[in-house]
Structures are given as C-alpha cells and as structure tokens.
Amino acid sequence: MDADLTAPHSQWTSARFVAPDSVTIVADVGGNPRAPTVILMHGGGQTRHSWASTMRVLVDTGYHVINYDSRGHGESDWSADGVYSFALRAADLRTVLGSVDGPFALIGASMGGITALDAVADGLRPAAVVLVDIVLRPERSGVERVRSFMAGSPDGFANLDEAIAAVAAYNPHRPNPGDPRGLMKNLRLGSDGRLRWHWDPRLVPPDVTKDLAAMEEIIVRLSGVRGVPTLLIRGRHSDVLSDANVEDFTRYLPGAEVYDVVGAGHMVAGDSNEAFTRGVVDYLRRHLPVHIADGESETLRSAPRARSRIS
C-alpha cells in the first residue's frame, strides 16, 4: 500500500496548548527541544499541514519546530463566541511560547504574519520574524478576493474534485498537485456527507474594513519597535502585495528585508515551496543559527534560488 503523503513525519509529536479562554490549540512538534525554536503560523483558511514540507526541512536543518493550527482552524477549537481578533490570536501565540525556553523565530503567512506583528507590537521579542506575503497595509482588492474565496461554497462540496475545482478557480496559475490527498487536510466531512473547509465560517467578516483598520492600529504600536530582524517574503504574482505597499512596509519597519519568489502568488509556500524554504533557512541561519551537519538536507542543496531584493 502506498505511504500516506499527508501524514506528519513519524518523529513529530502532537501537542496541545490551552489558551486562557479554554480554547485548545493543536500543534505538531519536531526537532531537538534544546535547539532554537521556530514557530510556524499558517494563513487564514489553511491548517498547519500547509507547512509540512517546510517543517521537515527546518527540523532536518537542526531547529526545534512548533507548527500549530490557529484557533478556528484544523484540529484546534473554535472560539465559543465566534470572536477571532488579531489580539486574541497574539495571545494564543504567547500561550504556545509558554513551552519554549530559549531563542525563537516566528514565521507567519498572511493571518499568521499579522499575528506575529501584533505580538511584536505588544512587546514580544523574537530573534527573527518572517512574514509571508503580508504587510499591515495590503492591497484591499487582494484581501477581498481571499475573503471571497473563504466565504464561498458555504454548502460544501459533494466530493474532493469539486473542492479541487474551487481552489483552481481561485488560483488558476498554480500547477495541479500530483497528489490531491493533501487538500483533504483542509477539509472536514459533515454529518450530511458533504466536505467543508476545515475552519469556522464565522472567521470571515462581511466587510474587510474593520480588519484593515485594526491592522493600521498595529502600525501605530510598531512605530517605536527597533531591533527585531524582519524578512518579508513576497510572491511576485501576488495580488495582496504591490510594489507600493511593500515600499511602505520598509518605511514603517526600517531595516526589514524583502525576498521575492518568482512564479509564486499569495500562497507562496505552496506555489514555490523549494525557493520559499531556501529563503527562510538562509535568513534564519543569519539571525537564529544552529550547527549544520555535513549531511545537509538534499532539499536545500538542490532547491533553486529565488530572485531576492534587499531593502
């Protein structure tokens, strides 16, 4: 029988963290707990399984990695009252970090990146922050397209093929995955026999204005923050980021670096995983180094370089 390509690595363990409001956060944990820690935070509408390939490489490189489902997503609990503020997610991050003793870095895609910046604005001091295709003044049209996709298909799908078609319609330039079983990690089977996305539908507000205003407020609190190395990884085909708002980002976070991944859209890690992961590891080696053994991961040796730009 073929191996389950969606299963976590055999050496990873499952962990549960309980937030102050009793919401349980579920994570995969791998690597040596005495090594520097990397926290992986997925984007809205994803689950921790979107980081599976990146987590494998980070663990193989020597890092201790905690990869968790954000509240309202995957195996983590939903908020009882349907509230999913950035501040609440930042508090969940602090709950997860309660298990970490030593230096750590944060890697956040979209919603996860906003969570990281909110926590930094509130005094958290990681060794490095990596933001994946998100800034605090993104393109409204791109954000609205993401939200429209998340709010779409409220009645779910009759089968996996329908879900694959929905993803292809949202991201038509992305190659069709060779094994579609990975998408099942983002789906749940309802009592009516239909597949629905593995997140709380209350996550998606009818209007993005409130969220965009809350992101602007984070900028104000970040104004006095200095000395937190930050990397922005952008998909060159992204409609969430433009040259203008990336330039704006480097003004309110001076010293931040920008790494462009050619051929990738907003879902950078999935669109061009090898180039994305190389950019992440190269940055972490500079700001949160670990000893690299002679038998370096084949993935890192063979992965193509992405075009990068330092601001």
Beta bridge partners of 25: 17
Give me the sheet containing 13-18, strands edge to edge.
Answer: 13-18, 24-30, 64-68, 37-41, 104-109, 128-132, 230-235, 257-261
On the question of pLDDT at 84 being above 70, the answer is yes
Asked, for residue 180, whether it belongs to a domain, the answer is: no
On the question of pLDDT at 129 being above 70, the answer is yes
**What pLDDT does 75 receive?**
95
CB 234 within 8 A of CB 281: no
Indicate the average pLDDT of the chain.
Answer: 84
Asked, for residue 89, whether it belongs to a domain, the answer is: yes
Asked, for residue 6, whether it belongs to a domain, the answer is: no
Q: What is the pLDDT of residues 226-259, one digit of tens each?
A: 889 999 998 767 889 999 999 999 999 999 999 8
**What pLDDT does 3 receive?**
30
Q: What whole-number distance in Å separates Cα of residue 275 and Cα of residue 308? A: 10
CB 183 within 8 A of CB 163: yes
CATH number of the domain residue 24 falls in: 3.40.50.1820
Asked, for residue 155, whether it belongs to a domain, the answer is: no
Q: Which domain holds residue 137?
A: 13-150+206-302
As for how many domains the chain has, the answer is 1
Query: pTM of the entire structure?
Result: 0.86
**What pLDDT does 225 receive?**
84
Give the list of residues 6+ apart from residue 183 with CB closer than 8 angstroms, or none.
160, 163, 164, 167, 177
Crossing angle of helices 111-121/86-97, nearest 10°?
80
pLDDT band at 280 (very low <50, low <70, confident <90, very high): very high
84 or 146, greater pLDDT? 84
Asked, for residue 239, whether it belongs to a domain, the answer is: yes
Q: What is the pLDDT of residues 292-308, one digit of tens each?
A: 444 444 334 333 333 33
Q: How many residues does the chain have?
A: 311
Judged on CB neighbours under 10 Å (0-12, 13-18, 19+), 155 is: exposed
Give the residue ranges of DSSP H helices in 175-272: 209-222, 243-252, 268-271
**What pLDDT does 87 receive?**
93
Give the list of residues 6+ apart from residue 54 with CB closer than 8 angstroms, or none.
40, 107, 269, 273, 276, 277, 280
Asked, for residue 172, whether it belongs to a domain, the answer is: no
Asked, for residue 122, whether it belongs to a domain, the answer is: yes
Taking the alpha carbons at both ends of the chain, their separation in whole angstroms is 50
Work out whether the CA dihedral 240, 112, 127, 305 comes out positive or negative.
negative
**What pLDDT does 176 receive?**
61
Element (H, E) at 105: strand 104-109
Q: What is the pLDDT of residues 21-74, one digit of tens each?
A: 999 999 999 999 999 999 999 999 889 998 988 999 999 999 999 999 999 999
Q: What is the pLDDT of residues 1-12, one digit of tens each?
A: 223 333 445 579
137 or 152, greater pLDDT? 137
Asked, for residue 39, whether it belongs to a domain, the answer is: yes
Closest to 240 measured CA to CA, from 228, 231, 249, 253: 249
